[in-house]
Structure 1
Amino acid sequence: MTVGTGTRVRGSRGLCLAVWGLSRAVLLLCVFKVFTVPGPDVTSDVSVIYRGWYEVLRAGSFPLDDVTWQYPPAAALAVLSPDLLPFLEYASAFFVLVLLCDALVFGLLLYAGGRPGMREAGTWLWVVGVPLLGPTVYARYDLMVTAVAVAALLAGVRHPRVLGALAAFGTLLKVWPVLLLVGTARGGETRRAWSSAAVTAAVLALAAAVALPGAFAFLTFQRDRGLEIESLGALVFHVARQFGWEGRVELRYGSMEFAGPHVALVSTLALALSVLAFGWLLVWRLRARTFAVHTPADAAFTAVLLFTVTSRVISPQYLVWPLGLAAVCLVFRGGRMGRPAGLVLVATAVTLLEFPLGFAHVVASDAEGVALMAVRNGLLVAAALDAGRRLWRDTVPRVRREPATGISRDGRADTPASAP
């Protein structure tokens, strides 16, 4: 590396660090309410709901009587984590811990981007993308889960067993990190990653079941969820309300959901789309033959996008999942996910406009609310389809058609026109 190149790299990293520090300071000022963001108070989930779960967990049980508890057993660690900073009030400690997880992701991406064959584009995507979600991103524990997922994919480049163990831990935090395993290379890498994941998940699940009663009660609460108003399927009813649909919006299971005629049908169709997405991933896994160093990240990014857009629930903080995985994809110079990552970045910015800034319009299904949901969800659908297409073309060999031959009138085989 020449002196000029080294100076540019240090300058770029310095600028990246400065932007990260400034933007995160603004986020902290927002969650500490030095600045007030218009719309619903996004910090109440931590100060009220999380704090309530914290008290129940400390008493020796999972929140069995609270249907808003819809998380796997390891989520208790996130809720109890403010105990690590006993000198701070609960919500303040939680915000600081999320900041530290954000810093961890930033550091991992920055380090990985400086290695041979890597680049800093992923670091910049993370630095710019996270604040686009506004204070919501620091007022939920999804960034903590994303930090585990990013660490798993980056560690998996050299250590498949670490990938498997971290993916299992992330799965018991919030289910979706199980998708990190879909793109591991065939053979020994898959065996090591998947076996490590299975053992880790079994040990952690057993420990959770023994430690506190009700570790898996969340499965029932998730099953009974309806159609959240920010999901893709909910667009049907946002539009239908303009034509006299007689349904309504209700606060159920901790989110705003549609209730009324045909909601159950659309919810079922959303589940069917998720099944189709799983089927496509299975076919891709069976057909894929070319596994590059970036394939696990590309596959995980694609899978998370597919299951996010087909879900009955797309909460604003969910956008940090594909954002983190997109950042990992962009770290690899050979990656193919540049355009889908850009679409996710734009969708993240639109998400801030719909929650918390324009959430009243979304609840009312007025013109502005419908437009915001159509644009945000349309961007996510486009990103998912584009990512799937790129993943398939990058890993599945094309079928080469042999030139057709025929029989001439004199009984001899015709040769292709290009033959000598």
Structure 2
Amino acid sequence: MTYIWLATRVLLLLMVLDVVPLFRSVSWDVVGVYHGWHETMLAGGFPVEDVTWQYPPAAALIILAPSMLPFSYLGGFLVITVAFDALTMASLVRAAAAGEGRGRAGAWVWLLGVPLLGPVVYARFDLLVAALAVSGLLQLNASAWRGGLSFGVAAGLKLWPALALIGVPRGRATRMALVGAVAGAAVSTLLMLLALDGGLDFVTAQQDRGVEVESVWALGFHVARWFGWPGVVSYNYGSMEMLGPYVDTVGRVSLAATLLCLCWLLYWRYRARTWSDATPYDAACAAVLLFVVTSRVISPQYLVWLVGLTAACLTVRASTQRPVAVLVLAATAVTMIEFPELFDDVQKSTALGVTVLLVRNGLLVAAAVLSCLRLWRATVPRPLAAGQYDPGLSPA
């Protein structure tokens, strides 16, 4: 396993550095965008004039960190990313040996799933956020407070890890996890708010976004372009988006769908009665899958979130998410084909581009539905049929 990790990660590094040009160069986000933000932050403020800055204040920690190492900015970023990758791999292997009912399937998912996304996984900071979320899940059993702390720090970088709290067992564990999450998010956020100006501008940064071309919601517009829809694909708010008639309406529908899914998750938590060691992991996976498929934006690097969460799930043999992990890995492989090599086809809504996107998004939707169904069936008791005898209700 160690040798496979080393071989695949060396290959990823060589591809990001364009030494092995199997894909188009993906390093611009680091050497251009991230480094540009870094220079602005060194001057004392967040890059609020740049519409591509859409992150919570604590994300500045990641942007500033590479310059603290004795390498180029790209070199420092890659060293940090590889270190987080290695620590996550080690944590998953250690979790597999934690006791009875644990297994190494989760470690294999991370080992193979990360390189399956291609070089983009090392050219975005999402792997670091996923690593913190995985760490939070793996620490929950030993210490709900420490697990919550990891979730809080991760949510300070990107908001989605807060969803992982949905599966924490009721009672004291939930209270301690919430305290840890609030502490982690508050400390990391306040640190950056005190250090830099303009930290709260991210709250309204995405309100005018369109529908990103790779999202589930964009599929209808891709097909509509074949029949004369007058909209266009244009660079907007840091990504290629659909702009034109009905896009605002679909964007509002996507937000409503996300809200409905959040309501379903709360309802599931209210109804759930059977809690196992796997439930916190399985619930986190289901929650983030719902968020991804209902979002108006799906960027390629989002798949590393799902790889990390399904890896955490599969450290427990009782997890309900094994078939979901297969679907996620398949979607990750298709994403590597779709971006960056076929991204032009996606932007032009060619038959090839739309087909690849339909397969990838179809796999993600199927994974989300299956994840929720299996989570529900494993945790929510079925109602008794009329006349069915329940020995638990018999008199003493």
TM-score by length of 2: 0.96
What is the alpha-carbon root mean square deviation over aligned residues? 1.1
Match of 1:114 among 77, 97, 100: 97
Look up the equivalent residue of 1:322 and give its one-letter code.
L
| Corresponding position of 2:163 | 179
Matched, 1:26 2:11: yes
State the alpha-carbon separation in 2 of the partners of residues 253 and 242 from structure 1: 25
Check the 8 A contact 1:31/1:95 in 2, yes or no.
no
TM-score by length of 1: 0.90
State the alpha-carbon separation in 1 of the partners of residues 223 and 36 from structure 2: 37
| Corresponding position of 1:214 | 198
Aligned residues: 387
Check the 8 A contact 2:15/2:23 in 1, yes or no.
no
| Corresponding position of 2:309 | 325
Equivalences for 1:5-404 in 2 at 5 Å? 16-39=1-24, 41-86=25-70, 88-117=71-100, 118-403=102-387
Look up the equivalent residue of 2:94 and give its one-letter code.
Y
State the alpha-carbon separation in 2 of the partners of residues 38 and 290 from structure 1: 46
Look up the equivalent residue of 1:135 and give its one-letter code.
P
State the alpha-carbon separation in 1 of the partners of residues 199 and 273 from structure 2: 39
State the alpha-carbon separation in 2 of the partners of residues 213 and 362 from structure 1: 38
Look up the equivalent residue of 2:387 and give its one-letter code.
P
**Pair 89,206 (structure 1): closer, same or farther in 2 beyond 3 Å:** closer
Look up the equivalent residue of 1:228 and give its one-letter code.
E
2:99 aligns to what SS in structure 1? coil
Check the 8 A contact 2:56/2:189 in 1, yes or no.
no
Considering only CA atoms, is the larger Rg found in Structure 1 or Structure 2? 1
Look up the equivalent residue of 1:374 and give its one-letter code.
L
Pairwise CA distance, 1:26: 0.4
State the alpha-carbon separation in 2 of the partners of residues 85 and 197 from structure 1: 28
State the alpha-carbon separation in 2 of the partners of residues 203 and 346 from structure 1: 38
Pairwise CA distance, 1:164: 1.0
Check the 8 A contact 2:35/2:73 in 1, yes or no.
yes
State the alpha-carbon separation in 2 of the partners of residues 224 and 369 from structure 1: 26
Pairwise CA distance, 1:264: 0.8
Q: Percent identity?
A: 50
Pairwise CA distance, 1:291: 1.5
Check the 8 A contact 1:32/1:92 in 2, yes or no.
no
State the alpha-carbon separation in 2 of the partners of residues 106 and 207 from structure 1: 29
State the alpha-carbon separation in 2 of the partners of residues 204 and 352 from structure 1: 33
State the alpha-carbon separation in 2 of the partners of residues 79 and 211 from structure 1: 14
State the alpha-carbon separation in 1 of the partners of residues 241 and 132 from structure 2: 30
1:43-64 per-position Cα deviation (integer Å, ceiling 9, x unaligned): 1000000000000111111111
**Runs (5+) with no aligned partner, structure 1:** 1-15, 405-420
1:302 aligns to what SS in structure 2? helix
Pairwise CA distance, 1:345: 0.2
State the alpha-carbon separation in 2 of the partners of residues 130 and 334 from structure 1: 23
Larger displacement relative to structure 2 (110-119 or 277-286): 110-119
Pairwise CA distance, 1:183: 0.3
Check the 8 A contact 1:37/1:357 in 2, yes or no.
no
